[in-house]
A and B are shown apart, each in its own frame.
Chain A
């Protein structure tokens, strides 16, 4: 791991009128690191994710990102064109509901190839080959390259979403409950895929989840949120095995044993 953080979140706060979305969150993320943000419904974890990924401007605070040229840039000071380009090339965003992150009426191959076309790739054969390659990596049968995601199962759609996001080699991926709503066996497969991709590609990721098992499996560090605040943070296995705060202890003890 290198010395400079990839992402710096400084005192990010988001109010919805008088209500707190999230308050005073400060955290940094380094290359190759996975950060889990856990909490129950209403904890502010999704708000935080949206503020960090520039989908929701915070009320106060800054989010800085280290560009490929090494420069640390304030994301909300950036022009919209640059930010949108960043979102399409250097970042990924995996939605909880894959339909939100895919074009459902366009073929799987086109879904994966879109980002390549958006950054100027103009060779049909090569785009198709890259799409086919990524479908293979997320374990979707290459024969389905011309099928639409409408005809895919939930797990397949989610894997397609991951392929669509990773095709441009992003350095940072945001995931919002990536396994939410999937069957347990499908979850296992997806988590294993995410784990190996993160390791193989040296990705950084911020994963929002309410499932502590997902956090343990995927993340190095963890933030525990309650009512918009980070109430505990640290090494994932430390927070889960030796929780210090009352709420964290409650969360951990509430996991059903199989």
Chain B
């Protein structure tokens, strides 16, 4: 469990068939690992592939070469070559993801959105909802919004729902893509606390933080993704 996440010789490129098959390299020979209890930051200029790496780790993007090894219970699984059901099982129990944007489902209340990952883990509805409310309160989301679907929320409000949803479980690995982008200082501080708590729990965190303040508060080390720049740019 010491190193729940190991990325080994991963490379990816996009092939744009709609543009006559133009190949867009993303990253090449990515190698790093994240240990339990540490928060690693992916750094580098915009467009270098930071988000893409997170998405590959989550199984949302395909991988051209290499392995992404995750500790799943007492075994090690390679997400890059795992079948969809395995990826779903890993997402349910092992890897969490706080994305940049909340994809809203019509008619589902914010508190239910947040509670969903716990319920997927077979927690009781009451326990899951109670924990969801705790987190939303901690993130200062006004209570009158809890029973409303987030589609009409502001960017910051949606982001807080996203964060609560990502932090509600005890996933050993947590991926964070600009979690504080739309937040004010007070809520940034809350997120920093949440991240610190996760580290103490022994979770392995990997994140992209635009905000220097947050980055400095939580990062144990930074990986410069431009190291993994793909050789050979798009034609």
User: Taking beta carbons and an 8 Å cutoff, which residues of A are in contact with B?
Assistant: 1, 30, 33, 188-189, 191-192, 195, 217, 220-221, 234-235, 237-238, 241-242, 244-246, 249-250, 253
A5 and B97 alpha carbons, distance in the complex (Å):
28
A235 and B105 within 8 A (CB): no
- Residue B222, interface by CB 8 Å: no
A30 and B33 alpha carbons, distance in the complex (Å):
33
A253 and B19 alpha carbons, distance in the complex (Å):
12
Most buried by A among B14, B85, B87, B89: B85
Q: A191-B106, A235-B59, A238-B60 are in contact. Are A246 and B18 (CB under 8 A)?
A: yes
Residues of B within 8 A of A234 (CB): 62, 84
A192 and B18 within 8 A (CB): no
Residues of A within 8 A of B75 (CB): none
Residues of B within 8 A of A221 (CB): 84
B88 and A235 within 8 A (CB): yes
Partner of A188, one of B16, B18, B88, B106: B106
A242 and B108 alpha carbons, distance in the complex (Å):
26
Partner of A1, one of B14, B85, B106, B107: B85
A244 and B12 alpha carbons, distance in the complex (Å):
12
A242 and B17 within 8 A (CB): no
A193 to chain B, nearest CB (A): 9
Measured CB to CB, the nearest residue on chain A to B87 is A235
A238 and B105 within 8 A (CB): no
Residues of A within 8 A of B89 (CB): 1
B18 and A241 within 8 A (CB): no
Given A188-B107, A242-B62; 20 other pairs, CB 8 A cutoff: A1-B89, A189-B107, A192-B105, A192-B107, A221-B84, A234-B62, A235-B59, A235-B87, A238-B60, A238-B62, A241-B60, A242-B14, A242-B55, A245-B17, A246-B17, A246-B18, A249-B16, A249-B18, A250-B17, A253-B18
User: Taking beta carbons and an 8 Å cutoff, which residues of B are in contact with A?
Assistant: 14-18, 55, 59-62, 84-85, 87-89, 105-108
A244 and B105 within 8 A (CB): no
List the count of A-B residue pairs having beta carbons below 8 Å apart. 51
Q: What are 17 A-B pairs with beta-carbon distances under 8 A?
A: A1-B85, A188-B107, A189-B106, A191-B106, A192-B107, A192-B108, A195-B105, A220-B88, A221-B84, A234-B62, A234-B84, A237-B60, A238-B84, A241-B61, A242-B55, A246-B17, A249-B16
A241 and B108 within 8 A (CB): no
Measured CB to CB, the nearest residue on chain B to A192 is B107
A246 and B16 alpha carbons, distance in the complex (Å):
8
Residues of A within 8 A of B55 (CB): 241-242
Q: A189-B107, A192-B105, A192-B106 are in contact. Are A235 and B18 (CB under 8 A)?
A: no
A235 and B107 within 8 A (CB): no
Residues of B within 8 A of A30 (CB): 85
Residues of B within 8 A of A191 (CB): 106
A249 and B59 alpha carbons, distance in the complex (Å):
18
A231 to chain B, nearest CB (A): 12
B18 and A250 within 8 A (CB): yes
A141 and B15 alpha carbons, distance in the complex (Å):
51
A109 to chain B, nearest CB (A): 26
A188 and B107 alpha carbons, distance in the complex (Å):
8
Residues of B within 8 A of A189 (CB): 106-107
A122 to chain B, nearest CB (A): 35
B59 to chain A, nearest CB (A): 6
Residues of B within 8 A of A246 (CB): 17-18
Residues of B within 8 A of A249 (CB): 16-18
Measured CB to CB, the nearest residue on chain B to A3 is B85
B105 and A217 within 8 A (CB): yes
B221 to chain A, nearest CB (A): 28
A236 to chain B, nearest CB (A): 8
Partner of A235, one of B14, B16, B84, B108: B84
B52 to chain A, nearest CB (A): 9
A206 and B87 alpha carbons, distance in the complex (Å):
20
A71 and B85 alpha carbons, distance in the complex (Å):
22
Residues of A within 8 A of B85 (CB): 1, 30, 33
A91 and B92 alpha carbons, distance in the complex (Å):
27
A250 and B14 alpha carbons, distance in the complex (Å):
14
Q: A1-B89, A192-B107, A253-B18 are in contact. Are A242 and B61 (CB under 8 A)?
A: yes
B62 and A244 within 8 A (CB): yes
Most buried by A among B55, B62, B108: B62
Measured CB to CB, the nearest residue on chain A to B62 is A242
A191 and B105 alpha carbons, distance in the complex (Å):
9
